[in-house]
Amino acid sequence: MHADDPNKNVEDWVTGAERATGPQLSYLHTLAREAGEDIPEGLTKAQASQMIDRLQQASPRTAGQDRRPPATDGDDPTR
């Protein structure tokens, strides 16, 4: 990771070992349903993120799309 690159390797996440968040799991369930896959129980944030990345690349609906983080705290409300 470079100083001006906001993306961090999941292995470097301080909170990567914590349980996956509700929004992560919700999106992951949507992607997994579309792919015909099951979601393992007890995923960590890092594992969920990696699985989301893999399923997004495999999905015809999301493959190749620019993946931006959701808007928060006054960011663009149209996203």
- pLDDT recorded at residue 5: 55
Q: Which residues of 41-79 are buried (b: 16+ CB within 10 A; e: fewer)?
A: eebbbbbbbebbeebbeeeeeeeeeeeeeeeeeeeeeee
pTM of the predicted protein model: 0.67
CA–CA separation, 52 and 49 (whole Å)? 5
CA–CA separation, 19 and 33 (whole Å)? 21
Of 19-23, 31-35, 71-75, least confident by mean pLDDT is 71-75
The domain ranges of the chain are 16-58
pLDDT tens digit sequence for 22-62: 999 999 999 999 889 999 999 999 999 999 999 998 877 77
Q: In the predicted model, is pLDDT for residue 67 greater than 50?
A: yes
